[in-house]
């Protein structure tokens, strides 16, 4: 039988099992290093979506006040689908019981104005740095968690 050129020169083709396991171990180690950073960025992105949603509510409340000379008592009066409603990981508005929600958005009126809040749900609840974020009608921003309010807002 005729031998191929690679066989004649003693060149081996392919990889050994040990080499494949070494590459797999390196990939797993890299994955373990990268995963926490990825999760942190996802939580930070979720916070950004919640901040944006709260500012939308503030804008709509102020427009409502200009038109009616008082603040809206519920989010439905401002054109949102429910009171409270959920914010999904894609930034979409959904019902409060949505499976992929990351924040529950609420509104509370007071004698002097209103407070709108974003409470984390689902995997966003793991964000211990910034838990409940809120903004008042006078512009005061608050957050609970281990981070300072300035870091969350």
Higher pLDDT, 53 or 13: 53
**Per-residue pLDDT at 103:** 93
Whether 30 has a pLDDT exceeding 80, the answer reads: yes
Whether 9 has a pLDDT exceeding 70, the answer reads: no
Provide DSSP, the chain: -PPPHHHHHT---S--HHHHHHHHHHHHHHHHHHHHHHHHHHHHHHHHHHHHHHHHHHHHHHHHHHHHSS--SSGGGGT-SSSSEEEETTS-EE-TT-TTEEEEEEEEE-SS-EEEEEEE-GGGGG--SS-SEEEETTS-EEE-SSS-HHHH-
Mean pLDDT, the chain, integer: 87
pTM of the model: 0.77
**% the chain with pLDDT above 70:** 92
For 125-144, what is each residue's pLDDT tens digit?
888 888 899 999 999 999 98
Whether 7 has a pLDDT exceeding 70, the answer reads: no
Q: In 3D, which of 90, 76, 148 has the Cα closest to residue 122?
A: 90
């Amino acid at each position: 039988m005729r031998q191929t050129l690679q066989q004649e020169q003693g060149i081996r083709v392919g990889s050994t099992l040990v080499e494949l396991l070494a590459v797999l171990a390196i990939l797993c180690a890299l994955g373990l290093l990268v995963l926490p950073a990825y999760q942190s960025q996802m939580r930070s992105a979720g916070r950004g979506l919640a901040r944006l949603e709260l500012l939308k509510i503030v804008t709509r409340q102020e427009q409502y006040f200009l038109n009616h000379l008082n603040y809206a008592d519920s989010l439905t009066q401002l054109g949102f689908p429910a009171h409270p409603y959920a914010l999904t990981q894609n930034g979409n508005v959904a019902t409060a019981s949505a499976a992929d929600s990351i924040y529950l958005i609420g509104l509370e009126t007071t004698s002097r104005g209103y407070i709108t809040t974003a409470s984390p749900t689902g995997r966003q609840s793991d964000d211990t740095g910034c838990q409940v974020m809120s903004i008042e009608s006078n512009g005061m921003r608050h957050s609970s968690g281990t981070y300072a309010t300035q870091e969350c807002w």
